[in-house]
Structure 1
Amino acid sequence: MPGSKAKSDQWSAEAKLATVIETAALSEEELSQYCREKGLYPEQVRRWKEESLQGFQRSAERDKQLRKKSQADQKQIKKLERELRHKEKALAETAALLVLRKKLDALWENDNGDD
């Protein structure tokens, strides 16, 4: 953790979180003493705690949104797979009809050629 010479606004996120953790169980008086030793203000530590909590909340919200998106994506994938199977069946049917049509045309040509 940075010493008292470093400005507290230049502390890393890890150092700020460590400070929040260290001070979580301290009383107001102990927090004030801690802050004097580190060159901080109690309001800064409280703000860092609030920012940390907001970060966790945003993270939880982000996870929830990702789960919803994943579910929507899975539904879309299933729908597209169904459509693809339907189109493949239609294509196979069309190909079979074309083959039958060619055979039928060939039979008609043979029948007409025998005359």
Structure 2
Amino acid sequence: MSKKSAKRSALTKFSLVAKSEGMTPEELEKFCAENGVSFAELQSWRDLSLSAMENSGDGNVMSVKQHEDEVAKLKAELARKEKALAEAAALLILQKKTSAILGPEK
């Protein structure tokens, strides 16, 4: 990737991809030359855009904030389940110890 394309924002890259859609090979060559981008870069940006949309399930790309919120929610749920599992394990150990001391229940 050239230094010039590395400085382009994601929105600019996506805009170039959108504008180039449906062009003939000759038009694409001219478009790339006018915008200072290689065909390979344009194709790479297109593939990345499509991949992001396909992986989002319904075509909507998750924002960073939505992703962070979901990660926080999943971490909280995991912590809750870990605590419940630890409590269940402690109760089982306690039950075994008391039955060993007092004998089996009748």
The structure with the largest alpha-carbon Rg is 1
Give the TM-score of the pair, scaled to structure 1. Answer: 0.46
Give the TM-score of the pair, scaled to structure 2: 0.50
Larger relative helix fraction: 1
